Structure 1
Amino acid sequence: MLTIGQLASYAGVTVRAVRHYHQIGLLPEPERDASGYRRYGATAVVALLKIRTLADAGVPLSEITALLDAGEDAFAAAIHRIDTRLSDEITRLETSRKQIAQLAAGNSGALPPEVLAYLDRLREIGTSEKLIAAERDGWILVAARWPDEIREWIPSKFAQLEDPRMVRLYHVLSELLEFDPDSEHDSDLIDERLREAADIMATLSEEAYASGELMSDDDTSDDLPFDLLDALADEAHPEAYRMRNLMRERGWTSWTRQERLNVDM
């Protein structure tokens, strides 16, 4: 016969937990013996071990009594449901661990592997980490709006990097992020690089427009993603608005949205 402390110790729970189980009617409370102590037998130990096992598995205490009182078939079915729920939880946690690992490595769990591979390719062509970080955040916005289409677009993005002009564009934009807008020394360089970047983007957009490679009207009918991309650029660099103005001068709505201001231009 065990005291409440011995019972709790054997089952690996606290005395407070045992008393709580008594209070809610989960574990029967024995009568006091002649010496005034409550003594617990082997049946109580087994019951407490079952309670602890079920509680550790995440079964609410309010459901444990019904499980303990259930017949063999009902108990087996309930245990199967619990096992399925735990399996789903393990899968969710494993996915979360992978996402955390990606974040720790500087990647975003909000992006599919195809986009992460594209970002790695940008590193290979000499794109700065600042620009890759900005590009990654932009892709997060795009992936949230077009989660199914994004994998279809990535091959064409890889193909674009075979064009030396696109590689040069990433180099120019990388340089822009390193310049100090408040520096008189960098002011002329910023102007020069902005114009060069706008010229490259306008030329590439013209060619894509002529070949029908731009996004369809259905894809571009939603203004919000493009507004967010523009806002993201503005928040990342104070000169971003100037790039939009330069693109408009060249006949395009912005540098994030390849849409002509006038199709007759």
Structure 2
Amino acid sequence: MLTIGQLAAYAGVTVRAVRHYHQIGLFPEPERDASGYRTYGAPAVVSLIKIRTLADAGVPLTQIARMLEADEATLAATVEQIDARLRAEIERLEASRRQVRRLAAGDSLVLPPEIVAYLDRLREIGASERMLAGERDGWILVSARWPDKVLEWIPAKLAQLEDPRLVRLYQVLSQLLETEGIDDRLANEAADIMADLADQAEAAGELDYGAEGRDEMSIALLDDLADAADKRAERLRELMRERGWDGWTRMQRVAKPPG
């Protein structure tokens, strides 16, 4: 006859597991002997080994008792159900593993390849990693809001990078983000370029942003992302207002401050 510790060691489980099985009614507790101790015989060892084997196979504890008492047909049907559940769980875990592996790919974790290629192009023209982090977050918001439209916009965005002014803007903003405090020379250069690009777009009738531009909540979120990215964003906004423009995502004409 075995003590609970000897039983647990023989069956390859912990004493805590045996007590848990007792508590939930899966493994009956023996009566105490004349000395007041609970001891276990060979049938208990066999029963516990069966429980451990089923539990190790992934069978929920709530189903083990029924399986131990089932006839052959019921047991086979239950095994099929458990097998199907385990296959589904394996598929879910494999999908999770693929997603975790994509973490190493950085941008491609939550963005489609076309946008990743655009971010790579920004990196090629000299955008800093901090600048790219802001761009990436913006594209995450845009992709979530307009998943069916976003890929249509990428060719135009890539074409815009053929404009040396825009290339220079990314370079200047990247330098600005790497400096301590406000570098007014860089900030003014960035504001000059942005105002120049906005003037040109206005003259060409390219400031009609369509239905997407009238999505006030999304525009506000994107602008908030830009404002929150760096404390110098407000200074850039001031410089843009001095040049008659405001907004990040949807550029709008504003009255220039007096003087």
What TM-score, normalized to structure 2?
0.77
What residue is the counterpart of 1:39 in the other structure? 41
Which of 196, 199, 203 in structure 1 is aligned with 2:200? 203
| 1:188–1:248 Cα change, 3 Å | closer
Task: Give the Cα–Cα distance (whole angstroms) in 1 for the partners of residues 99 and 224 of structure 2.
Answer: 29
1:99 and 1:40 mapped to 2: Cα distance?
51
Per the alignment, residue 120 of structure 1 pairs with: 120
Distance 1:98 1:221, change over 3 A: farther
Q: 1:188 to 1:246 in 2, by over 3 A?
A: closer
1:19 aligned counterpart, secondary structure: helix
1:147 partnered with 2:147: yes
Which residue identity is paired with 1:231? D
Distance 1:252 1:67 in 2: 73
Contact residue 138 and residue 222 of structure 2 kept, 8 A = yes
Does residue 192 of structure 1 match 2:189?
yes
The offset of 1:90, in angstroms, is: 0.9
1:232-265 Cα distance to aligned partner (Å, 9 max, x none): 222223342454466567776523125678xxxx
Which residue matches 1:229?
A: 222
Change (3 A) 1:140 1:208: farther
Residues 103-114 of structure 1 aligned to structure 2 (within 5 Å): 105=106, 107=107, 109-114=109-114
Query: Partner of 2:22: helix, strand, or coil?
Result: helix
Distance 1:246 1:188 in 2: 11
Contact 2:188/2:239, CA 8 A, preserved across alignment = no
Paired positions, count: 249
Separation of aligned partners in 1, 2:205 and 2:180? 33
Q: Is the contact between residue 244 and residue 253 of structure 2 (CA under 8 Å) also seen in structure 1?
A: yes
Identity rate of aligned residues, in percent? 49
Contact 2:195 2:245 in 1 (8 A): no
Does the 8 Å CA contact 1:245/1:254 hold for their aligned counterparts?
no
Unmatched segments (≥5 aa) in structure 1? none
Secondary structure at 1:152's aligned position in 2? Answer: helix
Aligned CA distance change for structure 1 residues 113 and 67 (closer, same or farther; 3 Å) = farther
* TM-score normalised over the length of structure 1: 0.75
Counterpart residue identity of residue 196, structure 1: I
Considering only aligned residues, what root-mean-square deviation do their CA atoms show, in Å? 3.4
TM-superposed CA distance for 1:61, in Å, is 2.5
